[in-house]
Every structure is written in C-alpha cells, then in structure tokens.
Amino acid sequence: MLQGKKILLGVTGGIAAYKAVEVVSRLRKAGAEVRVVMTKEATEFVTELTFREISGNPVAVDMWAPIQHWNVAHIALAEWADLALVAPATANILAKAALGVADDMLTTTLLAVTAPVFFAPAMNCNMYAHPAVRENIEKLASRGAHFIAPGTGKLACGAEGPGRLAEPAEIVAALENFFAEGAQLSGVKVLVTAAGTIEPIDPVRYIGNRSSGRMGYALAEEAVARGAEVVLVSGPSALTPPKGLQSFVSVETAKEMREVVLREAETSRIVIKAAAVADYHPKTVSDHKIKKNDEELSIILEKNPDILKELGQKKREGQILVGFAAETQNLLQYAKGKIAKKNLDFIVANDVTKPGAGFNTATNIVKIISRGGEIEELPLMEKREIAKRIFDRILPEEFK
C-alpha cells in the first residue's frame, strides 16, 4: 500500500524524535519515498545528517538556507507529498498548526499541504491531558487531520500515562490502512442524494423542509475518502460540496432530482438516497407573486414521484440501494415497510424527535436495517462518523 507513496515527515523537538528514524526506515522498506522536515528543536535530539542518510533525501530545517535543490522549498515539498506525517508531534506543533502559525519550515510547509495530514503526538501525560492540547487536537481533527494516538506507559520524564509516541510499526500500519481504505472503492461509482427538495408556489415562495444536507454531504465525503467516483445530487444547501467529487449536481425540485438520479443510477454501483424529497408539490405554480386578500388561501398539492421506489423497481443485479427514513413514531415498523415497498438493501432510520437526532444537527442517532432484518443500532454520533459506519455496513464482502 505504501509502494511509491510520497511521505513528508515532520519531526519536532521531543525525545521521541529518535523513534522517527525508525519510522523513516520502515516507510522506505515498505516502498515509500520519504522527505523530512525538522524543526530547529528536533535537531537538538537527532541530527539532520541521520535523517538525510536514512531517508536518502536532503532534509529541510531552515527557511532561509540557500536553496540547494528546487524541491526543498516549502511549497514544492507540500505539493510533492501524498501524505504528511508529524511524528513526534509536540504540544507546541499542535498549537501552532491549530492556529495556523507559519514561523519555520515545518509550520509553513504544513499550511501549504493539501494532502491528508497525520499527527502522532508525544508528550508528558499531563500535557497531553491539558485542555489546551485537547482543544488543539479537536480543532485539527475537525479540519480533517488524522491522529495516531500515543501509547500508555513509562515516559522519558518518569511519569506514567498516555503520551508515549505510538510505536513506529503502529505508525506505519496506520498509514498503510489509510491508503488501503483510500483504494477500497476505486473505480466504483457511488451516487448520493442530499438535502431537501423545494417545491415552488410562486416566483418568491416554496414548500421546503428542514434538511440541511449534512448527512448526505458526509456520505459523499466518506465515499470520496474510500476512493469512489462520487456523484452528489443536492437540493439547496448552505454546505460546501466535498472535494474530490466526480460531479456535483444542484437541483431544486423532486422532479429535477428524479431526472438526474434516474440517469446517474444507471451506471452507479451504490445509490444512497439521503435526500429529504418533498412528497408533494403545488399543483399550479403562479407566474406572479400571489397577493394577499382577506380570504383563506388554499394550495392544492399533487403527489411527487417516489424516486427511491422507481430506483428499487429498476435495480440491477449487484446494485446496492440504500434509503433513509425519518420518522416520529413506530420507527422500526415504518422503516422495515419502506425496505419492502421500495426494494431496498438497507435503510437508515432515525427518530427525528430525539435530541441530537434528525434534521439540521451535526449529530444523529440511527439504526441501520438490512433487507434481511438485521438491525445495527448506533449511539449518538457525528454525521461524518455515521457515514463511515454506513459504508462499513453496506459494502459487500468483495470490497472488504
């Protein structure tokens, strides 16, 4: 998995810097190319020469050193990397990275990296438990950084607790897993729908619902992370579409969504309908803004097509069809009914009346129900984490 991968290793000033030498050695043995950026403090623990020899590449430390080779400049290094790893990551580098400080070669390079970034923290256990450090880790994680948790044991300072740099073999295994997961759905087309549809009443008004699109966008992001070719079809949403999509199609009405989805589904292996599609639309749409008068106003609603049901009728051999069910009562009974009615493989059901669940929240509480009736109940979780669990559940053996 690491064959030919370009790994940028940032080494910071902690006693565990010596273990980073073994990380480089293992990465190279696994076929990766490694370039090292050290902080000045790191050079107090291990020499630049050691990393130069073990990586077989020049080591960058000083922003102002005369350029010996074009590719040690921080931007070129950042662009070169398939993945950046900071090991050991001190409390100081976590704070700087969380703030976006750029005052040396490593911090400046990290800001320019667009590839995935991993931190392997190593520090005294009290420092690791400090709220400032926890906050910085959370902040970096919320921006997509990955963490390789430190081990627990006797630390160099004599204290005992979590803070010891993960073993080099574990660090390398974490990167291998990451690349393995990134290739899991390579060449597989995944269609995801998200957010609610809106159904116009007149040029300024519409019927809509509370769906933010968060769940669908998280699913699309997860599918991209697993290497799939992802098409995201979304109703109006304030969210930014994830990077790396094959295409993003913005729609407004159920009718528009149906057209795109039926077309895209023909070539998709996996279809996940997280969108909250309006079940009805106003029968007539006024060309002009409806003026108020003293009378009651009635709007006649006509049924929308059930896109998921049509997908179920047209489902091809091997295609995986996943629906969502937002319910306020009889969750399991209704959700199971929808699996049968719409010919689904799975349904993700949630009771939208529970706190932390449902529309327009960052979290949800869901049950993943299979066609065979198995139920996986997940506790309250971030929607991004739920997206991972959904993929873990719905992928057939051939992808595992």
Q: Site residues (CB under 6 A) for ligand CTP?
A: 254, 273, 275, 277, 279, 304, 306-308, 323-326, 338
Q: Is 157 a catalytic residue?
A: yes
Q: Which two tokens stand for residue 202?
A: 């007149």
| Residue whose CB is less far from ligand CTP, 106 or 344 | 344
Question: What is the pairing mode between strands 6-11 and 33-38?
Answer: parallel
Smallest separation (angstroms) from ligand CTP to the CB of 256: 12
- In the complex, the smallest distance separating the C-beta of residue 232 from ligand CTP, rounded to whole angstroms, is 14
Give the gyration radius of the chain's Cα atoms.
Answer: 25
The nearer residue to ligand CTP, 206 or 324, going by C-beta atoms, is 324
The enclosing H or E element of 320 equals: strand 320-327
Kindly name the residue from 157, 169, 362, 375 that is annotated as catalytic.
Answer: 157
**Secondary structure (DSSP) of 322-366:** EEEEEESS-HHHHHHHHHHHHT-SEEEEEETTSTT-STT-SEE-E
135's enclosing H/E stretch is helix 131-142
Instruction: Report in angstroms how near the CB of residue 199 gets to ligand CTP at its nearest.
Output: 11
Q: Toward ligand CTP, which CB reaches closer, 16 or 254?
A: 254
Rounded to 10°, the helix 331-342/307-314 angle is: 50
Q: How far apart are CA 82 and CA 179, in angstroms?
A: 10
DSSP assignment of 163-187 equals EEPPPHHHHHHHHHHHHHHHTTTTT
Contact 5, 37 (CB under 8 A): no
Residue for token digits 């990451």?
A: 178
- Sign of the four-CA dihedral 221, 223, 226, 229: negative
What's the closest the beta carbon of residue 334 comes to ligand CTP, in angstroms?
A: 6
CB nearer ligand CTP, residue 60 or residue 326? 326
CB-nearer residue toward ligand CTP: 245 or 277? 277
Residue 146 or 389: which CB sits closer to ligand CTP? 389
Supply the minimum distance, in Å, between the C-beta of residue 218 and ligand CTP: 15
Question: At its nearest, how many Å lie between ligand CTP and the CB of residue 308?
Answer: 3
List CB contacts of 104: < 8 A, sequence separation 6 or more.
Answer: 39, 40, 63
Would you please indicate which residues are annotated as catalytic (active-site) residues? 157
